[in-house]
Amino acid sequence: MALLRQAGRVAWKDLRVELRSKEIVMTMVFFATLLVVIYSFAFPASDIELVRGAVPGMLWVALAFTGTIALGRAFDRERENDTMRALLLSPVPRLAVFLGKAIAMTALILAVAVVCVPLLALWLNAPLFAHPGELALAVVLGAIGIAFIGSVFAATLLKVRSRDVLLPVILYPLLVPLFVAGTKATAALVAEPSNVELAWFWIRFLGIYDAVFLVLSLWTFESLVIE
C-alpha cells in the first residue's frame, strides 16, 4: 500500500538521521545505564527476594523515562530546521507521516530496552531471561504503546509553549495502564515459580491497549497536529 510505503520512507529517514549522529541512542543508553546503577545502590542485590520484587518496576520506569526523553529529543530535531513543516507540507498523507515517525520511535525505544534488560539481569542478578519470548513480547508491545501515543503528543506539542514539561505531564497519566500491565507481566515472569498464565493476561491487555490507542492515534493525529 502506498501509505505504508510513504510511512516507511519517513521512518527510514528518521532512522538514517539518527544513525548518522547516534545522539539519541547513545545518550538514552547511557541514561538507562545510570538508572540501573542508581537502582543497584537503592536495592542490595544480595537480597534476592527484594530484587525480584523490584526489578519489573525498575525496567518499566527506565523505559518510561528514557522513552519520554527520546520522544522529546527526536521531535525537537524536527523543530530545528522546521522539517516537520516540510513533512506536513508534502503530499504524503499525514497519517503516513505519523506512522513513519511512530515506527522510528518504536525502534529507538526498543534499542534502549535491548541494552536495559540484560544490564538489569546482569547487575541485579535478576532472572529476567526465565521466559525470554514472553518478556520480549511485553517489551515490544510496551515500546509500541509509548512510541505511538508519545508521537501524537510530541508532534502536537511541537510548536507549543512549555512543551518540554507538558510532554511528561500528558503522557504519564495516559500511559499508566501500559506501565502497570508491563510491570505486572514482567513480575509474573520473574516470580518464583513464574506465573506464565498471568503474564499472558497482561500481555493480552497490552495488546488490546496498543490496538485501541493505535486506532485512536491514527484518527486524531491530523486534527491535533494541524493548528
Separation CA 134–CA 131 (nearest Å): 6
Contact segment (CB under 8 A) with another protein among 11-19, 24-32, 60-68, 133-141 equals 11-19
- 129-159 burial, b at 16+ Cβ within 10 Å, e below that, comes to ebbeebbebbbbbbbbbbbbbbbbbbbbbbe
- Binding mask 164-203 toward another protein (x if CB under 8 A, else -) reads -xx--xx-xxx-xx--xx----------------------
Q: How far is the CB of 113 from another protein (least distance, A)?
A: 21
Q: How far is the CB of 53 from another protein (least distance, A)?
A: 15
Using only C-alpha atoms, the chain has a radius of gyration, in whole angstroms, of 18
Separation CA 201–CA 188 (nearest Å): 10
Separation CA 119–CA 113 (nearest Å): 10
Count of residues that interact with another protein, criterion CB under 8 A: 51
Among 15, 25, 137, 224, binds another protein (CB under 8 A): 224
Q: CB–CB of 36/123 below 8 Å?
A: yes
Q: How far is the CB of 71 from another protein (least distance, A)?
A: 15
Separation CA 75–CA 226 (nearest Å): 15
Write out the three cell numbers for 1.
Answer: 500500500
Distance, first Cα to last Cα, the chain: 28
| Residue 22 CB burial class (10 angstroms; 0-12, 13-18, ≥19) | exposed
Rule CB under 8 A: which of 116-175 touch another protein? 149, 152-153, 156-157, 159-162, 165-166, 169-170, 172-174
Q: How far is the CB of 201 from another protein (least distance, A)?
A: 10
Residue 45 DSSP SS3: coil
Among 16, 48, 122, 192, binds another protein (CB under 8 A): 16
Short-list 157, 145, 166, CA closest to 64:
145
- Binding mask 26-65 toward another protein (x if CB under 8 A, else -) reads ----------------------------------------
| By CB under 8 A, residue 83 contacts another protein | yes
Q: Residue numbers of the site for another protein (CB under 8 A)?
A: 6, 9-10, 13, 16-17, 20-21, 80-83, 85-93, 149, 152-153, 156-157, 159-162, 165-166, 169-170, 172-174, 176-177, 180-181, 205, 209, 212-213, 216, 220, 223-224, 226-227
